[in-house]
Amino acid sequence: MDIHEVLEYLPHRYPFLLIDRVLSCEPGKNIVALKNVTINEPFFGGHFPNHPVMPGVLIIEAMAQAAAILTFKTAGGKADSNSVYYFVGIDNARFKKPVTPGDSLRLHATIERTIRGIWKFKTEARVEDVLVAEANLMCTIRSMKDEQAKST
């Protein structure tokens, strides 16, 4: 999937879109996506000015965006203005090595199970073949109309 198709499956836009390309996707099973990390990323100005490192929470977010594409591909839908993709839980997050400008972050997400609208994934982020981060993520898709009805 090129960036144009990625934009069909994710509601995120610059500066929060963290997927540049999908390298492979097997609906119902797994996905491998790519984030090219450049010095132009808006967070590098402050994290850290003399030693730019991609924040761990953004690596987790990138893995979740890959998982979101896999979820939509598996469920046969696309992101739209009436739905939102939420984190439900993040477990066992580990950061093994810093991610810096010039790295190509390869994001892997595998569906472990789906129960009552909650999707559980095993995710990894790699630079070349080196594991830089991993986490178990739980996410769900919710209708914006349902969310608005709950708040009134």
47 is catalytic: yes
Report the SS3 class of residue 149: helix
Alpha carbons within 13 A on the beta-carbon side of 112: 11
Report the SS3 class of residue 40: coil
4, 12, 47, 108: the active-site residue: 47
Give the C-alpha distances (Å, rounded to integers) separating 145 from 82, 118, 151.
7, 19, 10
Strands of the 30-36 sheet, one edge to the other:
21-26, 30-36, 104-115, 118-127, 130-143, 83-95
> Omega into 15 within 30° of 0, i.e. cis?
yes
90 neighbors 127 (Cβ within 8 angstroms): no
Report the SS3 class of residue 52: coil
Catalytic sites, residue numbers: 47
